[in-house]
């Protein structure tokens, strides 16, 4: 029997919108989806490599940890260059596991946008630093990371000899094809491999995520252990009422059928902000196609209760909410008593700040439910690598089931190419002349 999952799902505040009868009616569909995943006959079945990553990566752990230790010893900073799935997972993990202000500045990020000020500031920041670079790109032709790698390489060539620079650049790319593989082999860079059957947004448990997470000093063995236990749990029980991963996927599907078309991932823990960013890509790219899908957004509470809270409480009722709830903070801070009680807060003196945050969560979820905003909660016992690995796999498996229930391929993203084609045309890339002329007319208002 698999270990009891470290995460738990609380759906009791969905009761007036989703009940056991609704979920049980989906059991035949769930069974069909699970069988198609197991037999690898589902849509996008050539991208199911992520299913086995927690086990598959065991043989590469020592190699990853050895190079990560070298980076930590010989540099001040690792520049992680990537966008989308090549970026979100590692940043989500490192932010989730780090202590703010006391924590982690070993890994910094480039290539996830084309902002000039950010890029130049980062390059200037590196002037007096010892640097390693990890370029994460299966193809090597994605514009944003390819562009900033060119800029960074130009800057570092004045800092290191060719041999030393080759030692300090590590790529994560395809095993045998693509521009980045050609660059890697020609320059003699070391590399990690992205397997062909793993898409970017499902790659956090591969070297794409594991290497920068290890450089940041975190336990990637524990991360994979949590993911493996969650994988075993996902596949051990196909009952939609008792398997929390299936219940989450099915509840979302039922809510979508009832015109709840936007999901808000909310958390009261600042360290989870980039988990929301990773989740938005995973769910947006996996489900949003064929004019279908739930729009994923996120909220950082209590901050956003003072901006979005009014809409969430009383606005249009096309929303539902999933809380990521951290059951206990790492540290304890007691609230002091103040003579004269000038701020009126002596009624909570002696209690902990975490206690206040927990009551804010409880108050919010019941207020939102009473206001007609259905919500459920994924409970996390603590912020550690094992819990995070379980959470990553929970969301990956759930979105696969959810996408297949919708009847879409959860593993492709054809719509992402549209902006790229327009950008290439406007930049003057050859073979885009007709598109460029059409776009220029639109920009001038002629069409």
**Where are the extended beta strands (E) located within 332-412?**
375-380
Cα angle 156, 157, 159 (rounded to 5 degrees) comes to: 60
Q: How far is it, in rounded angstroms, from Cα 174 to Cα 129? A: 29
> Can you give the length of the chain in residues?
447
The reply to whether 129 belongs to the active site is: no
33-44: burial string, b at 16+ Cβ within 10 Å, e else: bbeebeeeebeb
Please state whether the peptide bond connecting residue 302 to the residue before it is cis, i.e. omega within 30 degrees of 0.
yes
Q: How far is it, in rounded angstroms, from Cα 22 to Cα 4? A: 26
Q: Check 4, 12, 39, 306 and give the catalytic one.
A: 306
Check: CB of residue 241 under 8 Å from CB of residue 247: yes
Q: What sign does the dihedral 200-202-207-211 (CA atoms) show?
A: positive
Q: Check 263, 269, 277, 285 and give the catalytic one.
A: 285
Q: How far is it, in rounded angstroms, from Cα 110 to Cα 133? A: 10
Backbone angles phi, psi at 380, to 5 degrees: -115, 125
| Distances in whole angstroms, Cα of residue 359 to Cα of each of 217, 302, 362, 365, 366 | 33, 11, 5, 10, 11
The reply to whether 88 belongs to the active site is: no
Q: How far is it, in rounded angstroms, from Cα 389 to Cα 222? A: 8
The reply to whether 112 belongs to the active site is: no
Q: Check 25, 177, 382, 420 and give the catalytic one.
A: 420
Check: CB of residue 272 under 8 Å from CB of residue 96: yes
- The residues assigned a catalytic role are 285, 306, 420
């Amino acid at each position: 029997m698999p270990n009891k999952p470290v995460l738990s799902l609380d759906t009791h505040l969905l009761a007036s919108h989703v009940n056991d009868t609704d979920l049980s009616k989906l059991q035949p569909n769930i069974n069909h989806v699970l069988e198609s995943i197991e037999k690898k006959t589902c849509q996008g079945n050539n991208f199911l490599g992520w299913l086995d990553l927690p086990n598959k990566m065991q043989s590469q752990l020592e190699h990853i940890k050895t190079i990560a230790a070298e980076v930590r010893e010989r540099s001040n900073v690792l520049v992680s260059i990537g966008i989308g799935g090549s970026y979100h997972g590692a940043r989500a993990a490192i932010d989730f596991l780090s202590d703010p202000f006391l924590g982690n500045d070993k890994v910094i990020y480039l290539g996830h946008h084309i902002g000039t000020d950010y890029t130049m500031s980062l390059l200037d920041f590196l002037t007096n630093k010892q640097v390693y670079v990890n370029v994460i790109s299966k193809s090597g032709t994605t514009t944003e990371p390819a562009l900033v790698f060119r800029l960074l390489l130009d800057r570092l060539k004045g800092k290191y000899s060719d041999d030393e620079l080759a030692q300090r650049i590590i790529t994560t790319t395809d095993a045998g094809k693509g521009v980045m593989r050609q660059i890697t082999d020609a320059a003699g860079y070391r590399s990690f491999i992205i397997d062909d059957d793993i898409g970017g947004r499902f790659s956090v448990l591969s070297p794409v995520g594991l290497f920068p997470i290890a450089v940041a000093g975190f336990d990637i063995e524990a991360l994979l252990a949590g993911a493996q236990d969650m994988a075993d749990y996902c596949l051990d029980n196909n009952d939609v009422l008792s398997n929390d991963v299936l219940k989450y996927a099915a509840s979302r599907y039922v809510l979508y059928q009832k015109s709840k078309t936007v999901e808000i991932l909310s958390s009261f823990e600042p360290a989870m902000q980039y988990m929301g960013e990773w989740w938005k890509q995973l769910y947006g790219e996996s489900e949003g196609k064929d004019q279908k899908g739930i729009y994923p957004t996120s909220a950082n509470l209590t901050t956003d209760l003072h901006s979005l809270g009014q809409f969430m409480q009383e606005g249009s009722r096309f929303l539902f909410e999933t809380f990521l709830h951290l059951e206990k903070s790492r540290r304890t801070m007691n609230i002091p008593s103040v003579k004269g009680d000038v701020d009126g807060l002596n009624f909570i003196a002696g209690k902990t700040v975490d206690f206040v945050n927990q009551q804010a969560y409880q108050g919010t979820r019941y207020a939102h439910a009473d206001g007609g905003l259905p919500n459920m909660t994924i409970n996390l016992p603590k912020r550690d690598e094992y819990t995070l690995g379980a959470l990553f796999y929970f969301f990956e498996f759930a979105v696969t089931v959810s996408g297949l229930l919708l009847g879409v391929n959860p593993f492709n993203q054809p719509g992402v190419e549209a902006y790229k084609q327009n950008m290439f045309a406007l930049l003057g890339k050859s073979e885009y002349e007709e598109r460029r002329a059409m776009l220029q007319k639109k920009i001038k208002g002629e069409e």
